[in-house]
Amino acid sequence: MRKPFGIAFIACLAFLLLFTSQPPTEAASLVKMGSANGDVWDLQFRLNTAGYYTEKPDGHFGAVTADAVRRFQRSYGLPADGVVGAQTWTVLKKVSVNRAELDQLAKLIYSEARGESYTGQVAVGAVVMNRLRSKEFPNSIAAVIFQPRAFTAIDDGQFWLTPNATAYRAALDAVRGWDPSNGCLYYFNPHVATSKWIWTRPQKITIGSHIFCM
């Protein structure tokens, strides 16, 4: 009666050895001087949205890109070697957006705050960026925006409206660090809010129709 168990054990062990020995498929791409691929284009776009790269992204890692990378690394206390490995990618993705994420952030700002002042629109974008950097929330723009019951515009479908140029400018300002909310993670309109819980959050500032809170 032991023989089938032994065969099964060996088979399971072989299976585990086979799959645990495989290299990770989502390893961070390393890009440096001379690299030329889609990751470089993404890097340049992100550095541009964060305010470190002013050229048009071209997918080629040259001296201008290397200089932008080093300035970014110095700003965030990273080794300023001009090489973008796992550590630099991790930090960059917390403080920047790619093309699709910029579109998503602009959509959210437009659908949630198009009737607000420009400062109020930036503040809504800043809340998303604050959540992205917080350990209490998901680690991507899309996951933050589409987290269940996080934003009214997702629930009522207004998120899918086409954002205007002002919403895109507000999104870029929020990504680049302008935070009129002063670090807040939530906001609500007191005239339409139905959640009792949101009133329990510490309130910091009111901008237009929204109260921003922690």
**Site of tokens 């895109």:** 168
Quote the domain boundaries for residue 85: 38-94
Residue 205 is part of a domain; what is its CATH number? 1.10.10.2520
Cα 189 to Cα 191: distance, rounded to the nearest angstrom: 5
Specify if 208 maps to a domain.
yes
Work out the pLDDT band at 8, boundaries 50, 70, 90: very low
Specify if 112 maps to a domain.
yes
Whole-prediction pTM value? 0.82
Residue 39 carries which side chain, given as an amino acid letter?
Answer: D
Give me the DSSP letters along 55-66: SPP-SB--HHHH
Do 49 and 148 reside in the same domain of the chain?
A: no
Do 196 and 121 reside in the same domain of the chain?
A: yes
Specify if 130 maps to a domain.
yes
Cα 38 to Cα 29: distance, rounded to the nearest angstrom: 10
Do 65 and 156 reside in the same domain of the chain?
A: no
Do 105 and 54 reside in the same domain of the chain?
A: no
The pLDDT tens digits for 68-90 are 999 999 999 999 999 999 999 99
Do 75 and 145 reside in the same domain of the chain?
A: no
Do 51 and 82 reside in the same domain of the chain?
A: yes
Query: 214 pLDDT exceeds 70?
Result: yes
Domain boundary among 59, 94, 129: 94
Do 166 and 183 reside in the same domain of the chain?
A: yes
Strands 186-188 and 203-207: unpaired
Do 72 and 173 reside in the same domain of the chain?
A: no
The pLDDT tens digits for 10-63 are 344 343 333 333 333 345 589 999 999 999 999 999 999 999 999 999 999 999
Helix and strand numbers, DSSP H then E, in the chain: 9, 3
The pLDDT tens digits for 88-125 are 999 999 999 999 999 999 999 999 999 999 999 999 99
Specify if 10 maps to a domain.
no
- Segment 172-184 mean pLDDT: 97
Residue 117 carries which side chain, given as an amino acid letter?
Answer: S
| Structural domain count of the chain | 2
Do 42 and 64 reside in the same domain of the chain?
A: yes
